[in-house]
Structure 1
Amino acid sequence: MSTLRSRSIEPVSGTAVTVDGIDAVLSSELSAIPSRYAVLADAAGATLAEPLAAAAALPVADTAAMDGFAVGGRGPRWRLLIGTCVAGRRSRIALADGEAVRISTGALAPAGATAVVRSEHAHIERIAGQATVVLAPGVPHRNDMRLRGESWSEGDELTPARVRVDAAVISVAQSAETPIAMVRGPLRADVLITGDEIRASGELAPGQVRDALGAALPLYLRHCDIGMGRLTRLPDDRTLLRTWFELDTDAELAITVGATGRGVADHLREVLAEIGARVIFDGVRMRPGGSHLVAELPDGRTLLALPGNPLAAIAATLVTGPALVRALTDRRDSPSLWGRIADAAAPASDLLRIVPARQVEGGVWRANGVAGTAHLANLLHADALALLPPGAGRGALVELLPLPR
């Protein structure tokens, strides 16, 4: 059995959902994983479980925003003292009214400093034999000093909970002396690719096809903030499939590729019923990728079962993967990307269509032709997957799922 939390669940058969309904179904049927303390620099793609608050003010003291002169008093002339205030060191220099000292960007302002005058606003003259900083003619007196707490004060909330840990969050946390915080995730998934005809390496036998997803799927999962655990390939064998579900793991997700159809070699639903899995939804009203499903396994993991055709699998991953991350890490909804599709005319259908699209001059989007599901060639020059609702016409405003670059 898995080393994850285990609880008794009632096996039920899920029903198909719409793309728009996936978030609501998952958020109501799945519980968020436990939170943990993590070094944020090592937790990109996780979700903050608590607001991020500053442990220290920024800046921690008055500092120079520009190279120039720290001055005492209004001037416009200041007697230049010997020495320089540099970043990273505390100076023993103290300024009296009418005195100045050289200062570098980021250096602590010396005691007695009332302002920092940037270099280009002043020059040095010798007046009565004394080096003197003189404000340039016509330059207004301004202060290029960053005051303590100007950016934030100790205890200030920098970002709320339920947001993604990205590069900006990591950087701000470092600046605020809060490099460790409570997070959920990032999620990790064990992946199983099934199919007697799938071959990863070596010469293809008659009827076999190359594994087109094993090397690419981790990139698409990472784009959804899902890390890759074990990758396993198995033939279409019911016993082996059940054994895979019972392997020990600490991954939060199980992802299968293939066996989501209802053919003679597709054993997934039978095995899920045998092990007592709870199917949350079985099918999404979309094409391609409509046969994918989500279930809760008896050991507490969540299963995302993807169809075997490569484009269908990627479409399902980009539609449902982020929704799983939102539900399992309690992430706040992120803004959607929308655009005008220049050629959305579609054959009559009551299903949402997913087509690769690229952005062209003028900001509009154009579909990459008729997409074949057996390969990802239509993604070679695509920027996103466009979600075309039934009846979408030329110039329709549609939701776009950005592709990893």
Structure 2
Amino acid sequence: MLTATSPVKGYEQIGILEAVARVLHEPVVSVLDVPSHTNSAVDGYALRGDDLPKAGNLVKMPVVGVALAGKPFAETVLPGQAVRITTGAPMPAGTDTVLMQEHIDMEGDRICIAGGRHRPGENVRMAGEDVRQGETILDQGRYLTPPDVGLIASIGIGEVKVKRRPRIALLSTGNELHSIGRSLGVGGVYDSNRYTLNSALKRLSVKVMDQGIVPDDPELLREALLRAATMADVVISTGGVSVGEADFVKDVLRSIGHIYFWKVAMKPGRPLAFGSIGSSVFIGLPGNPVAVMVNYYQFVLPLLERKMGIVERPVLPTLKATSTERLVKKPGRTEYQRGILERGQSGEWLVRTSGKQGSGILRSMSLANGMIVLEHGRSTVEPGEIVDVLPFACLM
């Protein structure tokens, strides 16, 4: 899926306050040193490191002035003198060391320094210590985080070029589906899939184009998919990808585009269609709500990150947890059970399921705080066995 997907082309230039969660189109190169001047890392007293006494000795040193952030001490500090200094203030000429005020005793206008406690050069931030002028601080394809935005601001840059937002067309299929606000007929259900997917997609830097509900009619489905493909980089549908009499997505996709595969060895979410319509990537998700969400996080999210142009995917850590109950599973497929992860009395991770695990029980996702990942070859898990858990905090 990743091989068949290429990043979007095109970019826009935006202010850095709008840049979080966007993807850099080009590297950011620093135009200055950060810090721009050598300064104090703490509140304390600046002096010459050579004036520090040896272990066992005590020195009393006069304080001859004050250096503040934004208002430096203008004179040169002579041997045997000290200057009161605040965090971020430029180091006065003649000084190279700052002693923390908490570690100093005062005697009138003099500081008392005990030998052996301090070392030359301590508590000083050197010019360019964080960033050097001309250094690339953020690479092309970087997914911008709040610290990244602050880093860009620290070099005085107010605008950056970011990749355009991929366009995602979203539609649901099925005669039984109804939009919110309409009364349900016999056998009808409200369409939850577009709402869960819309909500998940809002966490990404993409533009969602909601195409509504398409009935189980091959011609209407064909028209809807072609229309969506003309406007979107990625087309996502839910429902109609299994082997039922009203499951037309696979056959329609073959007639208007290409299909690369349509089943995966996992539960829930076995029916998953992947292909293309013209220049658009197509993903056909199952109709069951839990299967939709599991497939989204395991397959669609990595693909969309690739389409956004993210070069280095965020790491999704799993935790080792002890199962507190029996988890029934057949070998031969990877299974994602919805779980509730919590700390035991000794600090160890414990996990149990969030209730019934049917692929249509969306509440099992709402109650859970993670997915229990049961590997392809694994069979039933007994209480006390260790399992992998993917916390939702890393995904949602």
* TM-score normalised by structure 2 residue count: 0.79
* Residue in structure 2 matched with residue 19 of structure 1 by the alignment: none
Alignment of 1:4-403 (within 5 A): 26-34=1-9, 36=11, 38-39=13-14, 41-48=17-24, 53-72=29-48, 74=51, 76-82=59-65, 84-126=66-108, 131-135=109-113, 139-142=117-120, 143-158=122-137, 162-177=141-156, 183-184=162-163, 187-199=166-178, 200-222=180-202, 225=204, 227-236=206-215, 237-245=217-225, 246=227, 251-275=232-256, 277-298=257-278, 300-328=279-307, 329=309, 331-338=311-318, 339-340=320-321, 342=323, 343=325, 345-348=327-330, 350-360=332-342, 361=344, 362-388=348-374, 389-394=376-381, 395=385, 397-398=387-388, 400=390, 402=392
Query: Whole-Å Cα distance in 1 between the matches of residues 244 and 373 of structure 2?
Result: 28
Contact 1:353 1:390 in 2 (8 A): no
CA distance 1:341–1:79, shift in 2 (3 Å): closer
Secondary structure at 2:208 match in 1: strand
Query: Whole-Å Cα distance in 2 between the matches of residues 85 and 352 of structure 1?
Result: 63
Query: Whole-Å Cα distance in 1 between the matches of residues 221 and 235 of structure 2?
Result: 12
Query: Whole-Å Cα distance in 2 between the matches of residues 134 and 307 of structure 1?
Result: 74
Of 284-293 and 171-180, more deviation after overlay is shown by 171-180
Contact 1:94 1:110 in 2 (8 A): yes
Query: Whole-Å Cα distance in 2 between the matches of residues 341 and 219 of structure 1?
Result: 31
Q: Deviation at 1:378?
A: 0.8
Q: Deviations over 1:175-216 (max 9, x none)?
A: 344565565465442211233322212432322212223333
CA distance 1:38–1:88, shift in 2 (3 Å): farther
Secondary structure at 2:192 match in 1: coil
Contact 2:12 2:164 in 1 (8 A): no
Contact 2:167 2:209 in 1 (8 A): no
CA distance 1:206–1:30, shift in 2 (3 Å): same
Contact 1:337 1:400 in 2 (8 A): yes
Query: Whole-Å Cα distance in 1 between the matches of residues 159 and 380 of structure 2?
Result: 49
CA RMSD of aligned residues (A): 3.3
Q: Deviation at 1:336?
A: 4.5
Q: Deviation at 1:62?
A: 0.8
Secondary structure at 1:337 match in 2: coil
CA distance 1:282–1:184, shift in 2 (3 Å): farther
Corresponding pairs, count:
372
Q: Point out where structure 1 has 5 or more consecutive residues left out of the alignment.
A: 1-25
Partner amino acid for 1:371?
Q
Query: Whole-Å Cα distance in 1 between the matches of residues 301 and 285 of structure 2?
Result: 14
Q: Deviation at 1:334?
A: 4.6
CA distance 1:141–1:31, shift in 2 (3 Å): closer
Q: Deviation at 1:228?
A: 4.9
Query: Whole-Å Cα distance in 2 between the matches of residues 125 and 341 of structure 1?
Result: 60
CA distance 1:398–1:264, shift in 2 (3 Å): same
Q: Deviation at 1:257?
A: 1.8
Contact 1:221 1:321 in 2 (8 A): no
* Residue in structure 2 matched with residue 15 of structure 1 by the alignment: none
Q: Deviations over 1:109-158 (max 9, x none)?
A: 233333222222334434xxxx3333357643553221112233223444
Contact 1:87 1:105 in 2 (8 A): yes
* Residue in structure 2 matched with residue 8 of structure 1 by the alignment: none
CA distance 1:232–1:81, shift in 2 (3 Å): same
Higher relative contact order by CA 8 Å / sep ≥ 6: 1 or 2?
1
Query: Whole-Å Cα distance in 2 between the matches of residues 271 and 193 of structure 1?
Result: 15
Query: Whole-Å Cα distance in 2 between the matches of residues 185 and 366 of structure 1?
Result: 42
Q: Deviation at 1:314?
A: 0.5
Contact 1:37 1:180 in 2 (8 A): no
